Amino acid sequence: MANLSEHIHIAALAGRSVNLERDAESSLAGYIPTARSVDTVRRVLDGLLSRSGNHAWSVTGPYGSGKSSFALLLDSLAGPRSKQRQNAVDLLDPIAPELVKLSDELLGDDGTWG
Q: Is 19:67 a contact under the CB 8 Å cutoff?
A: no
**Predicted structure pTM score:** 0.79
CA-based angle 73:41:70, to the nearest 5?
A: 30
pLDDT of the chain along its 114 residues, tens only? 788 888 887 665 555 678 888 887 777 878 899 999 999 999 999 888 887 766 788 999 998 888 999 999 998 998 887 888 999 999 999 999 999 999 988 887 777 776
- For residue 51, how many C-alpha atoms fall within 13 Å in the half-sphere facing its CB? 3
Where do the domains of the chain lie?
A: 32-49+64-109
